[in-house]
Structure 1
Amino acid sequence: MLIAMFGAVESGIIYAIMALGVYLTFRILDFPDLTVDGSFVTGGAVAAISIINGVPPAIATIFAIGAGFLAGCITGLLHTKGKINALLAGILMMTALYSINLRIMDTPTLSLLNETTIFTQLQTILGNTGVDQALNGLLTAMGADRLPSTWAFLLVMLVITITIKLVTDFYLKTEIGLALRAIGDNKRMIRSLSANTDNLTIIGVGISNGLVALAGALIAQLGGFADVGMGIGMIVIGLASVIIGEALFGTKTVARATIAVIGGAIIYRMIVTVALRFDFVETGDMKLMTALIVIAALITPKIVHARKEKQRRLQKRAQLHQHAKGA
């Protein structure tokens, strides 16, 4: 169980990057972008085919970010310049990306098991630390298997994700970032101030899908393969991470909201890992569990709020009754 939870945290940190991208479109821009399911695969496909063709993993990952950014920009163009509904523009781009991803990979699945990836390079550089050796020795004494990765490697991925979070926070406080936030709140007001809302929307959706593609590239390298179907349901996973994080940690500030998204992604992966440990749950039930988790995350805060509101009204009524008796 410990090893499974370790793996959940490990993958959750990477999925948090994708969740940050979803947060930018759904919460900042108020743009229901379904391109995510396609751009996630695009990131994995571009990174995988680049690595197979001898491109260094770091450069291949940058290529993946660029491909995701381009896909997001096209979605933004379809919406702003083509005057297509935001939801439909995302669906159209997601559909188109399925064929594009197949063209990129030239096969439904690409294996990276025998290739050098960012993670194999990290493991070579970091090696096993003293903490890892001590912990793995303890696990062996307890009859458990060794950890699937090093603590140092996990720390590096956490630092990368937190760095992206801090850069996102800084960007959203710049002039362009404030304009993006304002577009999500009141697009007409920003347009009345002569701001080019179309270009800002295109840039925002592009950045969002660039982050999603980065997560796809990292997941492909972590898992050792890129698959044309690996992006199915990614938008729901991203939304689950955002909603769970906001419900647990709050959204008073942008910095708090982004750290909540990261926490939500990790907690989501842990919930799924625990659920899969039950005998009656099959691997194919994962999408159903994702939907149930999102439903629970959406309904629970409203139920809690309704109960608090009911208690408040009862207390107010009791106070008025006591005041009337006193009079």
Structure 2
Amino acid sequence: MNLVSFLGAVEIGLIFSLVALGVFLSFRVLDFPDLTVDGSFPLGGAVASTLIVSGIDPLLSTACATIAGGMSGIVTAWLNVRFKILHLLASILTMIALFSINLRIMGRPNIALIGEGTVFDLFTWLTPLVEVTGLPARSALKVAALLMIVVVTGLLLARLLTSEFGLAMRATGANARMARANGVFVDRHTFCGMALSNGLVAAAGALFAQAAGFADVTMGTGTVISGLAAVILGETLFRSRSILVKLLACIVGAITYRIAIALALNTGWLGLQASDLNLVTAVLVGVALMLPTIGGPFRNILTRSARA
């Protein structure tokens, strides 16, 4: 794998770090299996790209995409909380509806952003620093910009989850009945958590569209699987009770996951092609899911050896 391919994998990994953070919020913090992610990711790309080609500022377009994603999360939470629809089914209903909504927003299956301004233009001041490294300027600039966005987002999210409001949200996911008995407004925290989760995913979709130069109505397929795999892989690499470490694990897991896919597809002796992406994804997700189970016996063996 050459340097350009590696930087491309890191770039996509950083974008999907936001997806991993969103999935962490819904699956781990709220204990809410949410498939809305597969619809809110392309929703972010659809809203941002449509606004950008209409002449709206890219930063404002990305903010609008984030808000639109948050609204999709609220719809899923509303179906679950108000009408007692099973959370998994509620998220599937929203995801299916979003496919048609995304087509409505875009007016066509895809939108090209070639030649349009993007949010990455705001980080051109990093160009002299990037040129010093000797890396390809365009790719390295995107990676640096995305790294700044992801780090700031992770720190803000860590601050939220360790606040009183965040502790109440975590209590909602851990034991909703006990949290309600202690005066926590469970429904409100579910709405807020789902809105924040899908808002992050939509923001990732908006950034992905601007980084790739296009938005497509089908680009959200398998997003929830990628996000969940990143979370599980990160938790396997970093075992800690600290919220900050867990969020860092999500980011590292997403980057590692994307690099692993790039390595598999760019390794000649494996004989894999771009059309094998779904196969590689399935294998990597399966390995990520098996690692906690496989790692247990090995850790026990190492512990016994150390004691001996």
Quickly name the TM-score band, shorter chain normalised.
Answer: over 0.9
Distance 1:104 1:252, change over 3 A: same
Q: Distance in 2 between matches of 1:34 and 1:262?
A: 20
Instruction: Pick one of 198, 210, 213 that aligns with 1:224.
Output: 213
Distance 1:224 1:81, change over 3 A: same
Task: Return closer, same or farther for 1:19/1:213 CA change in 2, 3 Å cut-off.
Answer: same
- Match 1:256 to one of 245, 266, 288: 245
State the identity %. Answer: 43
Alpha-carbon distance change, 10 to 258 in structure 1, aligned in 2, over 3 angstroms? same
- Given the two structures, how large is their TM-score scaled by the length of structure 2? 0.93
Unaligned segments of structure 1, at least 5 residues: 137-146, 320-327
> Which residues in structure 2 correspond to 1:25-44 (within 5 Å)?
25-44=26-45
Kept in 2, the 8 Å contact 1:128–1:150? The answer is no
2:130/2:137 contact within 8 Å kept: no
Alpha-carbon distance between aligned partners in 2 of 1:50 and 1:235, rounded to the nearest angstrom: 25
The 2-side partners of 1:310 and 1:20 are apart by: 33
Is 1:208 aligned with 2:207? no
Q: Distance in 2 between matches of 1:127 and 1:174?
A: 33
Give the Cα–Cα distance (whole angstroms) in 2 for the partners of residues 235 and 221 of structure 1: 20
C-alpha distance 314-259 of structure 1, shift in aligned 2 (>3 A): closer
Q: Normalising to structure 1: TM-score of the pair?
A: 0.88
CA distance in 2, matches of 1:157, 1:314: 43
Letter in 2 for 1:301: P
Alignment partner of 1:288 is 2:287: no
Q: Tell me, yes or no, if the aligned pair for 1:126 and 1:152 is still in contact at 8 Å.
A: no
Residues of 2 paired with 1:250 and 1:113: CA distance?
42
Structure-2 separation of matches of 1:241 and 1:86: 22
Residue of structure 1 in register with 2:64 after alignment: 63
Deviation at 1:114, TM superposition (A): 2.3
What are the within-5 Å matches in structure 2 for residues 7-18 of structure 1?
7-18=8-19
In structure 1, the partner of 2:108 is 107
- Hey, what's the Cα distance between the residues in 1 that align with 2:141 and 2:108? 35
Q: Does structure 1 residue 303 correspond to structure 2 residue 287?
A: no
Cα deviation for residue 118 of structure 1 reads: 1.3
| C-alpha contact 2:44 2:66 (8 A) present in aligned 1 | yes
Distance 2:248 2:41 in 1: 21
| Distance (Å, rounded) in 2 between the aligned partners of 1:20 and 1:134 | 29
Over residues 149-192 of structure 1, what are the superposed CA-to-partner deviations in whole Å (9 max), with x where a residue is unaligned? 25344223211111000000010012221011011111110111
Could you tell me which amino acid in structure 2 is paired with residue 157 of structure 1? L
Structural mapping, 1:1-327, within 5 Å: 1-119=2-120, 121-122=121-122, 125-126=124-125, 128-129=127-128, 132=131, 135=134, 147=136, 149=138, 151-279=140-268, 280-309=271-300
SS at match of 2:215: strand
The root-mean-square deviation of aligned C-alpha atoms, in Å, is: 2.0
How far has the Cα of 1:315 moved from its partner? 10
Hey, what's the Cα distance between the residues in 2 that align with 1:33 and 1:134? 40
Residue range with higher mean Cα deviation, 172-181 or 29-38? 172-181
